[in-house]
Chain A
Amino acid sequence: DVKVTQSSRYLVKRTGEKVFLECVQDMDHENMFWYRQDPGLGLRLIYFSYDVKMKEKGDIPEGYSVSREKKERFSLILESASTNQTSMYLCASSSHSMTAPLHFGNGTRLTVT
Chain B
Amino acid sequence: DAKTTQPPSMDCAEGRAANLPCNHSTISGNEYVYWYRQIHSQGPQYIIHGLKNNETNEMASLIITEDRKSSTLILPHATLRDTAVYYCIVRPSFNSGNTPLVFGKGTRLSVIA
Contact = CB atoms under 8 A, between A and B. Distances in A.
Interface of A: 4, 30-31, 33, 35, 42-43, 45, 48, 50, 56, 58, 90, 92, 94, 96-107
Nearest to B97: A50
Contacts of A103: 46
B49 A102 contact: no
A58 B44 contact: no
Interface stretch (B15-23, B75-83, B103-111): B103-111
Chain B at the A interface: SS class: loop
A107 B43 contact: yes
What 7 A-B pairs are tightest by C-beta distance, nearest first? A104-B43, A101-B46, A43-B103, A98-B94, A104-B44, A31-B98, A106-B43
Nearest to A35: B103
**Chain B: interface residue count, which band?**
20 to 34
Contacts of B105: 42
Contact of A58 (B36, B42, B100): B100
Given A98-B94, A99-B49, A105 B43 contact: yes
Contact of B102 (A45, A94, A97, A105): A45
Nearest to A96: B98
